[in-house]
Amino acid sequence: MTPQIPKFLCALIICTCAATTTVAQQLLAPEPQPATIVGTVVDFTGGVVPGAIVRLKRPDQNDDQQVLTQENGFFKLDRVKPGIHYRVTISSKGFANWTSDDVKLAPGQYFILSNINLRIANVQSSVTVVPSEQLAVQQLKAEEKQRVFGVVPNFFVVYDKNAAPLTPKLKFHLAMKLLVDPVTTTGFGLTAAIYQMTDYPSFGQGAKGYGKRLGATVAGGSTNILIGDAVLPSLLHQDTRYFYQGTGTTKSRLVHALSSPFVIRGDDGHREINFSGFGGSLAAGAIANAYYPDKDRGARLVRNAVLTGIAGRMANAVVQEFLLHKLTSQHDKASP
């Protein structure tokens, strides 16, 4: 008589065999062959971009792979698991980041990623706009520190080729700054002393004669500065300051200096006839005609005042262009 196997034991044996067969099949089945992604990175001009960082990213995980492009811009991402959604991101200094669409590859697929074109990164910058008058005030403060040997005022020289134009208020301020400077007043006194030694004009000698000469010198000099460097420049929109050239040939710099008494810069930056300088010299001559004794007056006095003013400006400009810029303190800080 053949023994019978219980039904539950038969079911257990059948399930065990089926499970063993399934596990064996899974163990024996080969892994899916990895895929490969390749591409070439170029910029907006079509030139290759070497050294760019290429990352293979999964939406739900960190970077899976990272490589650098070769000298020819080529890159290769191998060992890419198939059946997974990836995105390729590319970054390089100076360029905006580039990101591909979703990529899902089949086992063993060799995928060429195309249309990789890096654009220039957007650069954000801020520019501080300073009103012209405020800039002129800042530059003028620097000019007021310009002194030859640290003593003699050299306020009417501009070392910044793009200096802001002066307002009428600033023109009067600069003229008064020069007029009340101790060196200027001392210069009036020395000029009167020289006139005293030469007995010109005919005021006589002694303290009384010196006082008259000093008064006439101060009146003429003050008129020349106020009219020639403040009043007329404000009305005519001219700038009587000397604009230092500093570059070019010696001839061009000399021409620039010698022409400065005749041609100056307007407030609009254009070159103009120096009506302000001529007017200042004429006004000084007119004041001298009013103060000097009768025998020293006349048209010749006014003519000499104008010619002396021109000669003085020419000599000063040449010295400024070739010598005084080296001896003037603070001029290297004239442009804030």
- 117-137 burial code (b ≥16 CB/10 A, e <16): ebeeeeeeeeeeeeeeeebbb
- According to the model, what pLDDT value does residue 62 have? 63
DSSP annotation of 93: T
Domain annotation covers residue 16: no
Domain annotation covers residue 322: yes
Tokens of 311: 């000669």
Range of the domain at 47: 35-118
DSSP secondary structure string for all residues of 162-227: TPPPPPHHHHHHHHHHHHT-HHHHHHHHHHHHHHHHHT-SS--SHHHHHHHHHHHHHHHHHHHHHI
Domain annotation covers residue 50: yes
User: Residue holding tokens 């490589």?
Assistant: 67
**pLDDT tens series, the chain, 336 aa:** 455 556 655 555 665 655 555 544 544 456 788 999 999 999 988 889 999 999 998 876 665 789 999 999 999 998 888 888 889 999 999 899 999 998 899 998 999 998 899 988 876 666 667 788 899 999 999 999 999 999 999 999 999 888 999 999 999 999 999 999 999 999 999 999 999 999 999 999 999 999 999 999 999 999 999 999 999 999 999 999 999 999 999 999 999 999 999 999 999 999 999 999 999 999 999 998 888 998 899 989 999 989 999 999 999 999 999 999 999 986 654 444
What backbone phi and psi angles, to 5 degrees, belong to 106? -85, 160
Domain annotation covers residue 24: no
Residues 139 and 272 in one domain: yes
Residues 64 and 168 in one domain: no
Residues 218 and 305 in one domain: yes
Which residue, 87, 118, 149, sits at the end of a domain?
118
Residues 69 and 195 in one domain: no
- According to the model, what pLDDT value does residue 16 have? 61
pTM higher than 0.85:
no
CATH number at residue 90: 2.60.40.10
Q: How many domains does the chain have?
A: 2
Residues 162 and 289 in one domain: yes
| C-alpha count within 13 angstroms, C-beta hemisphere, residue 250 | 3
